[in-house]
Amino acid sequence: MDRQNRVGSKFGGGGVSSAQQSERERKERLKKLALESIDLAKDPYLVKNHLGSYECKLCLTLHRDEANYLAHTQGKKHQQGLGRRAYLDKLKEQQQQQASSTITQTTSTSTILPSRPKLRIGRPAYQVFKSRDADTNQRCLSFELHYPELGDEWQPRHRFMSAFEQKIDRPPDRRYQYLLFAAGDYETVAFRIPNEPLDKDHEKFVTHWDGVSKKFTLTLHFQEPSVSFSRS
Which of the residues 66 through 85 are near Zn ion (CB under 5 A)?
78
Smallest separation (angstroms) from Zn ion to the CB of 45: 6
Contact 202, 131 (CB under 8 A): no
Among the candidate windows 51-59, 136-144, 167-175, 216-224, which touches Zn ion by CB under 5 A?
Answer: 51-59
Does position 46 interact with Zn ion (CB under 5 A)? The reply is: no
Does position 58 interact with Zn ion (CB under 5 A)? The reply is: yes
In the complex with Zn ion, which residue's Cβ is closer, 85 or 123? 85
In the complex with Zn ion, which residue's Cβ is closer, 56 or 150? 56
Does position 113 interact with Zn ion (CB under 5 A)? The reply is: no
Q: How far apart are CA 226 and CA 139, in angstroms?
A: 12
Smallest separation (angstroms) from Zn ion to the CB of 58: 4
Contact 223, 195 (CB under 8 A): no
Q: How far apart are CA 126 and CA 149, in angstroms?
A: 14
In the complex with Zn ion, which residue's Cβ is closer, 64 or 159? 64
Contact 63, 55 (CB under 8 A): yes
In the complex with Zn ion, which residue's Cβ is closer, 58 or 70? 58
Contact 192, 128 (CB under 8 A): no
Contact 227, 133 (CB under 8 A): no
Contact 135, 183 (CB under 8 A): no
Q: How far apart are CA 124 and CA 148, in angstroms?
A: 8
Smallest separation (angstroms) from Zn ion to the CB of 5: 40
Please report which helix (H) or strand (E) contains residue 16, including its range: helix 16-38
Question: What is the size of the binding site for Zn ion (CB under 5 A)?
Answer: 4
Which of the residues 116 through 145 are near Zn ion (CB under 5 A)?
none
Query: Of 46, 56, 145, 183, which one interacts with Zn ion (CB under 5 A)?
Result: 56
Determine if the peptide bond prior to 44 is cis (ω within 30°): no
Smallest separation (angstroms) from Zn ion to the CB of 9: 38
Which parts of this chain interact with Zn ion (CB under 5 A)? 56, 58-59, 78
